[in-house]
Amino acid sequence: MPAIALISAIAVVAFQQLVEWRFGPMGIVGLLFLTVGLKARNHTCSSIGAVILTLMFAGPAM
pLDDT tens track for 4-61: 888 888 888 888 788 778 778 888 888 889 889 988 999 999 999 999 888 888 877 6
Q: Is residue 52 part of a domain?
A: yes
Q: Are 41 and 12 in contact (CB under 8 A)?
A: no
Torsions phi, psi for 59 (to 5 deg): 80, -175
Q: Specify the number of domains making up the chain.
A: 1
pTM: 0.66
Residue 62 lies in a domain: no
Terminal C-alpha separation, the chain: 47
What pLDDT is recorded for position 47? Answer: 94
Contact assessment for residue 35 and residue 15, using Cβ atoms and an 8 Å cutoff: no
Contact 51, 37 (CB under 8 A): no
Residue range(s) defining the domain that contains residue 37: 2-57
pLDDT of residue 45: 93
